[in-house]
A and B are shown apart, each in its own frame.
Chain A
Amino acid sequence: MLSRGCVRFQPTALSEELSVTLMSELRRDKKMRKFGSSDWLMRLGQVVLLLGLPITTLADPADRSISPTNIFAPVSTPAHSIIGLSLFVLAVTAAIFVIVAGLLVYCVVRFANRADDDGREPPQVYGSNQVELAWTVIPILISVVLFMATARVIASVQKAARPADAIQVIAIGHQFWWEYRYPDLKVVTANELHVPVSDPAHPTPTFITLLSADTDHSFWVPRLAGKTDLIPNHPNTMWIDPQQTGLYLGQCAQYCGTQHAKMLLRVYVQSREEFDRWIEEQSQPAQASAAVSEGQHIFQTTACINCHAVNGTVGDGRFGPDLTHLMSRETIASGAAPNTPENLRLWIQNPDAIKPGSKMPAMGLSDPELDALTAYLATLR
């Protein structure tokens, strides 16, 4: 499972790379060529890790009970390739640690001043060119190997070609929530990203364009991919190719202001059919029934519509999350609370009770107004 990511690596993508010069030079040497093999890296990494590093428990993808955001339990390609490399780097550094720390312990034990010491100074040694050359050259070789292993994973992730049937999503970071737009599918939603699962035989990865409406943010769902920042005036892209359905969690990883901590990420990886059905539902305008017309009236005549949009009403604000299909989401306030009518009511009445410092203002509505508005929102499915 772990090796899958690196199998995807395409050598052609490296062609104009700085790294390629070094790589081709090394290919001439048959022995060194083995270092280029990801399977080799991976196997070595796993062997060393099994030798008793505490990290072993984290590295077992089957054990998800440790954490839903464990970087060592990847289910998507960039995360797979990253972990393959990471295990190799961990193995090399662990080996260096064992050797050097061993030397240190040996020195401390072996050369401790004895109680029966004669008090004379030990022989003075000023240096040794051979020894110093050795511990210059060996680290250089290790660095070169690590560098090349790293360079090819960088290329495989950053230079991956976009297949024609990739899903296109624009993620916009706001203080302190996420806006998601599917430009090809004409869907806008917030805080809960839905993507189809990708079949390795016929991959349908999701390419995400990252924008920011205000300050810097960072999109990090550890089991899907590494993080990429959302920076105003600086569009970024990333991609995920998830191979298992499920809900994957994460959160904003670049300090963005007061409520950076509760800018949570939820990515729902769905089967293709479920995803298509979800898109179909999200494409519908809001259906309002007469029973909640009072709440709808409040929504349309107070400050709600300055920030929020509900498709099919006069509300077309863009500062806050689109509420057209609010009730299709499991959480509110960017994952800070479950989406229940009680929480919704509290959120409108006093947002600070759920997420102090969020940009949602307390609306100052009376209790009957709150009830009516909550009843209306509860119909936005």
Chain B
Amino acid sequence: MSTDSIATFNVDMASRPLVAKLHEWVTTVDHKRLGLLYIVYSFIFLLIAGIEATVIRIQLIRPHNNFVSPDVFNRMFTMHGTTMIFFVVMPMLFGFANYLVPLMIGARDMAFPRLNAFSFWLTAFGGILLYFSFLGANGLYGAGNAPDVGWFAYAPLTSKTFSLGHSTDFWTLSLLVSGFGSIGTAINIIATILCMRCPGMTLGKMPLLAWLNLIMAVLVILAISPLSAAQIMLLVDRYLGGHFFDTQAGGSAVMWMHFFWIFGHPEVYVLVLPAFAFASEIIPVFSRKAIFGYPVMVAATVCIAFIAMSVWAHHMFTVGMSANANTFFVLSTMAIAVPTGIKIFNWLATMWGGKIHFKTPMLFSIAFLFQFLIAGLTGIMLSAAPFNWHLGNSYFVVAHFHYVIVGAILFMTFAAFYYWFPKMFGKMYIETLGKLHFWLFLIGFHLTFDFMHIPGLLGMPRRIYTYEPGRGWDTLNLIVTIGVFFQAAAIVVFVANLLWSYFRGETAGSDPWDAWTLEWSTSSPPPVYNFAVIPEVRSRRPLWDRKHPEDPDWKYE
């Protein structure tokens, strides 16, 4: 196909009626469009799950509050957690992987474009199915209701005895369906990275983003499979008379915990590795230095993936495992701190001696480093099993994992939004609004999640719809709730910035950040075929080589 004929094709599309354009989006197999679909879809769910979080926080603003009933509260935290993990963070990161991986490895699309589309629509259907529970869960019983078993749905609360109607089935089936979508995308990412790299790009010359997404995809397959198995077992229990988790018939509640957490802990790394990937691209560009210790960064990632498969039961220190089992999981959990620490040090070393430009993506990245450091340290506290006997299932652990998911992953996702927005839409965002978003969100984040640790230390368990006065939790919960409104305001600024910039923003050009990876060598937004000529690379920073022919990277690698 020549460049001319493709250009004509683009012009045709622009002049088509709206219905035809939408049809293009629904039937697309282009990795960039699917990436954007993932991102937009997960952003909508981010707003929904954010509203659910706001309901939770308003209910907890003071003791014995009556904003919502206990049942509604329990549905809200179940839906908030399930949505955020499965229908916000995962698809958001898949979206970026979809969009960026082929561009960064010099490919024209993913390895399996149709599987890519299929996977997206499975995930999308899963999210819609979960939310249909609000209408359909109780079916003919009446008003319907959402699942209320918590996002890790411990047995036997999910058995027919304790969960009548179909709310749990909506939870199970939606995760099963979207899980298959995730596995499809993971296979696609692995195949793309292993088979479709441009000439010259050996594994050792891939951008770190590709490496981290490769490992992430491997973990997705390892983690989602046991989750899907457990969901099927739960369905067998509920409808075919199985007794896997049915404790009243001799089943094991603890087995569900093992199944869930052998998914659940690698899942944390599935979510955080892409955030690391963004940091490993953004921090070097805004420090104007190559990433420090590339081979060690790759090795640390592989190491994290291996150890991540053996730490799951640190979520279960309070379920009465033997002292030996507890000791083993303390050891493996503390071990994972080592490669994670290496990463933080390498990012710092990348900044060291650089010339740091404080654009919005870099601000979010610096906040990410600070917050991920704290999240890691509270993680070490939680890994000390006896400390965990207090902290587990308290608000301390809630604060800890929000530090990971919001403070690290969401902050880094915002950085990625701002960093690649010019590439995706060819328009520049407004820097002032970006910084306003950053500071508002930073204040809101710290008000909410710093103060959330303390009620946990003062004995406040999670998932309670109300609490007794006189326990020293009142003021802290008030502050936590106030922070939510700062975060909400920041999100409004963010959306306004992106919308305004999309329609009215200045043209960005193909390489606004003077960056070094291949996606910046093509136009913004990239054409359907990505690269008119498949690039050839000799180092990890092909555009550095092009910009500095007198001192190219390949001389040193």
Residues of A within 8 A of B (CB): 17-19, 55, 58, 66-72, 78, 81-82, 85-86, 89-90, 92-93, 96-97, 100-101, 103-104, 107-108, 111-114, 117, 121-128, 131-132, 135-136, 139-140, 143, 146-147, 149-151, 153-155, 157-159, 210, 214-216, 218, 220, 222, 225-229, 231-234, 236-237, 249-262, 264, 356-357
Contact = CB atoms under 8 A, between A and B. Distances in A.
Contacts of B373: 97, 100-101, 104
B356 A86 contact: no
B348 A107 contact: yes
A67 B468 CA distance: 11
B218 to A, nearest CB: 23
A18 B327 contact: yes
Nearest to B159: A215
A260 B462 CA distance: 10
Interface string B315-343: 00011101110111011001101100110
Interface stretch (B230-238, B267-275, B292-300): B292-300
A132 B369 contact: no
B431 to A, nearest CB: 15
Contact of B374 (A81, A92, A97, A237): A97
Contacts of B471: 67-69, 249
Contacts of B295: 127
Interface in B116-175: 148, 150, 154, 156-157, 161-162
B447 interface: no
Contacts of A140: 338
B341 A135 contact: yes
A191 to B, nearest CB: 14
Interface residues on B, range: 35 or more
A216 B326 CA distance: 20
B446 interface: no
Given A104-B369, A254-B154, A69 B458 contact: yes
A357 B467 CA distance: 16
B113 interface: no
26 contacts: A86-B381, A89-B380, A89-B384, A93-B381, A103-B348, A104-B370, A108-B351, A111-B356, A112-B355, A122-B288, A122-B289, A126-B292, A126-B293, A128-B292, A128-B349, A132-B346, A139-B341, A154-B385, A158-B322, A218-B461, A229-B319, A231-B253, A232-B253, A237-B320, A257-B74, A257-B162
B390 A226 contact: yes
B377 interface: yes
Contacts of B71: 258, 357
A121 B69 CA distance: 59
A228 B319 CA distance: 6
B456 to A, nearest CB: 9
A236 B381 contact: no
Interface in B520-557: 548, 551, 553, 556-557
A136 B156 contact: no
A356 B70 CA distance: 7
Nearest to A97: B377
Given A126-B290, A256-B157, A154 B355 contact: no
A254 B319 CA distance: 10
B366 interface: yes
B381 A89 contact: yes
A147 B320 CA distance: 19
B354 A111 contact: yes
B324 to A, nearest CB: 6
Interface in B247-292: 247-248, 250-254, 287-290, 292
A19 to B, nearest CB: 6
Contacts of B553: 124
Interface string B354-388: 11111000000010011001100110110111111
Contact of B386 (A82, A126, A222, A251): A82
A96 B377 contact: yes
Given A126-B556, A143-B334, A215-B157, A69 B459 contact: yes
Contacts of A228: 318, 320, 389
Given A104-B369, A158-B322, A143 B337 contact: yes
Given A231-B254, A234-B253, A112 B457 contact: no
Interface of B: 69-71, 74, 148, 150, 154, 156-157, 161-162, 247-248, 250-254, 287-290, 292-296, 318-320, 322-324, 326-328, 330-331, 334-335, 337-338, 341-342, 344-346, 348-349, 351-358, 366, 369-370, 373-374, 377-378, 380-381, 383-390, 392-394, 454, 457-468, 470-473, 548, 551, 553, 556-557
| Best-buried of A58, A154, A214 by chain B (most CB within 10 Å) | A154
Contacts of B250: 233
A349 to B, nearest CB: 20
A258 B463 CA distance: 10
Contact of B292 (A70, A127, A257): A127
A135 B340 CA distance: 11
Nearest to B393: A253
A155 B328 CA distance: 12
A127 to B, nearest CB: 4
Given A126-B557, A254-B393, A356-B69, A107 B342 contact: no
Contacts of A155: 323, 327
A70 B386 contact: no
B65 to A, nearest CB: 11
A252 B463 CA distance: 10
B318 A227 contact: yes
Nearest to A108: B366
Contacts of A262: 466
Given A89-B387, A258-B74, A71 B457 contact: yes
Given A68-B470, A82-B387, A111-B352, A146 B334 contact: yes
A112 B222 CA distance: 42
Nearest to B358: A112
Nearest to B326: A154
B327 A151 contact: yes
A66 B458 contact: yes
Contacts of B369: 104
Contacts of B389: 78, 82, 225-228
A139 B337 contact: yes
A259 B334 contact: no
B345 A135 contact: yes
Given A85-B387, A132-B296, A70 B457 contact: yes
B360 to A, nearest CB: 15
Contacts of A229: 318-320
Contacts of B319: 229, 231, 234, 236
Contacts of B349: 125, 128, 131
A218 B318 contact: yes
Contacts of A153: 386
A261 B369 CA distance: 35
B369 to A, nearest CB: 6
A369 B253 CA distance: 43
A1 to B, nearest CB: 18
Nearest to B77: A255
Contacts of B384: 85-86, 89, 146, 149-150
Contacts of A237: 320
Given A86-B387, A97-B374, A125-B289, A17 B356 contact: no
A96 B378 CA distance: 11
